[in-house]
Structure 1
Amino acid sequence: MKNAAKQRLEAGELAIGVGLRQARTVDTGKIFATCGFDWLFVDMEHNSMGVDTATQICVAAQDAGITPIVRVPGHQHFHATRLLDGGAQGIVVPHVDTVEAAARMVEQCKYPPLGHRSVTGSLPQLGFQPTPLADMTASINDATLLVIMLETPEAIGNADAIAALPGVDVLLVGCSDLGMEMGIPGQPDHPDIAAALKAVCDACDKHGKHAGLGGVYSPPLMQRYIEFGMRFVLAGSDLSFMMQAAGARAAELRALSTD
């Protein structure tokens, strides 16, 4: 079972993602795969998308060769497991401050022996092919990315312990919320943000995990943090891309002469 984002990460390359805030159609994955992205950040925390739409996007994305990863709205087990059973190849868990909270998400998202995820029938990730149970659970565990979001100083302080957990794959720093919590909103270039990102990269490097970057969109600043070790990189959202391109096109046409 292919996971394009995981393959990029294991090769030491950038795994580049795009956030879905507006998109609702199943061709979304093919569009962004053609654009060169590796993973979809299907955001169920900050928009109104429901489970049905999210899972349809996920299943179609698999066939397009782009990894569907869903940010769930909370820590209840059904938030993650319904999306995983429906086709997601990764789960982003927001607002994880402690190693205990991260460990609970491993229990929910990974099958034994890593966790305690409940077994269902045939899965879309395996093309609904009948698969021996031991092979199925091992394959799904290996191909499912569990992404833990760190968005507070407390979370950053616990990065080493969280990265040490078996079953955790990526530590994704949400720089927007982190800056708010630190009292430095909108300053992703602040030395305290940089120090936090460096600490997370060091923790991931120590424990063989992958460091992720969200909320930073200036290429020079992204380059700096990539040099720290960031590899799982959120490039922006469909909304921001649409508004930038549409605004530029409207301005371009407004500048044309009518004389």
Structure 2
Amino acid sequence: MEVSGSIARQRMERGEVAIGIGVKFARTVDIAKAMRAAGYDWLFIDLEHGSMSLDTASQIAMAALDVGVTPLVRVPNGEFGMATRILDNGAMGIVMPHVDTADEAREIVSKLKFPPVGHRSVSSGLPHLDYKPLGMRAIAETLNAAMLLVVMLESPEAIANAEEIAAVPGIDVLLVGSNDLCAEMGIPGDYGNPRLGEAVKQVVAACEKHGKWPGFAGVYDEALMPRYLELGPKFVLCGTDISLMISAASKRSAFVRKSMDGSEAQRAAI
């Protein structure tokens, strides 16, 4: 059965890299089409650090389904009620931050997968299936197989437990969160530190052993990022809407001011 918004999973199943963009600043549905035009496979709609409402996140997620982008939503750690509501209203997966143990990963599967895999309540009329009047069994089986459960590893404890976490059935992606991980390791902002590289290697190895997809986020410096991409992540966060907008806008303003200064210098010399 066809499910809207599955491009990220499909890419990774083909052995390709699925790249995503964080949505923290945007509040309108056109961000989905814009990011699709920019070449991204999935949206990282941020309800952990962002201030948008659940309704806004749902509208963006449903728009993403219609343009062929996978909408994933990061919720605050342990907010399973929020997670199931957004899953019922457009999200194709959940990103759960600060997962340190296999027991925590098993709880995520239990709360967010439909029976018989987990214990999530089954609702009919879902946007992922174009609101078709399908039976409960078909809905559960189809969406259990299509959704992505992403756990973020953001502490030394999580890295040490990477293999046990990767072994949990139902978890799809282990995403290294470099910002918090570096802070927890006592090297905040030191994204070139070899310890971060070793952590990523450990997670990639654990994922390869257990048939999961390794992910990477938090390092966007163009001089450093290739170092981590070469380690083999298949699920890569490329930045956020607000950071990319500020970067592009800053470059343009600097270019215009420099050009104007040059023009004024030329006129003064005439």
Counterpart selection for 1:90 from 76, 88, 93: 93
Find the aligned partners of 2:159 and 2:225 in 1 and give their Cα distance.
19
**8 Å CA contact retained: 2:124, 2:134:** no
Counterpart selection for 2:171 from 146, 149, 168: 168
Output one character per residue of 1:179-238: Cα deviation in whole Å (capped at 9) or x when no partner. 000001111221111111000000000010000101011335332322222110000111
Counterpart selection for 1:188 from 191, 196, 213: 191
Q: What letter corresponds to residue 24 of structure 1 in structure 2?
A: R
**8 Å CA contact retained: 1:80, 1:108:** no
**8 Å CA contact retained: 1:201, 1:228:** yes
Q: What letter corresponds to residue 108 of structure 2 in structure 1?
A: M
**8 Å CA contact retained: 2:61, 2:71:** yes
Find the aligned partners of 1:110 and 1:155 in 2 and give their Cα distance.
22
**3-state SS of the aligned residue for 1:9?**
helix
The residue aligned with 1:105 is 108
The residue aligned with 1:34 is 37
Matches within 5 A, 1:192-207: 192-207=195-210
Q: How many matched pairs?
A: 259
- Is 1:63 matched with 2:66? yes
The residue aligned with 1:210 is 213
The residue aligned with 1:122 is 125
The residue aligned with 2:27 is 24
TM-score for both structures, normalised by structure 2:
0.93
**8 Å CA contact retained: 1:26, 1:56:** yes
Find the aligned partners of 1:113 and 1:219 in 2 and give their Cα distance.
44
The residue aligned with 1:229 is 232
**3-state SS of the aligned residue for 1:243?**
helix
RMSD between superposed Cα atoms in Å: 1.1
- Is 1:74 matched with 2:77? yes
**8 Å CA contact retained: 2:217, 2:236:** yes
1:47 offset after TM fit, Å? Answer: 1.3
Output one character per residue of 1:122-177: Cα deviation in whole Å (capped at 9) or x when no partner. 11100000112211111101110000000000011111111111110000010010
Q: What letter corresponds to residue 40 of structure 1 in structure 2?
A: L
Find the aligned partners of 2:194 and 2:252 in 1 and give their Cα distance.
36
Output one character per residue of 1:44-94: Cα deviation in whole Å (capped at 9) or x when no partner. 011111100000000010001100000002313202101100110010001
The residue aligned with 2:161 is 158
- Is 1:241 matched with 2:244? yes
TM-score for both structures, normalised by structure 1:
0.97
Q: What letter corresponds to residue 165 of structure 1 in structure 2?
A: V
- Is 1:135 matched with 2:138? yes
Find the aligned partners of 2:102 and 2:67 in 1 and give their Cα distance.
35
Over the matched positions of the two proteins, sequence identity in percent amounts to: 53
Output one character per residue of 1:103-128: Cα deviation in whole Å (capped at 9) or x when no partner. 11111111122211111121110000
Find the aligned partners of 2:105 and 2:40 in 1 and give their Cα distance.
27
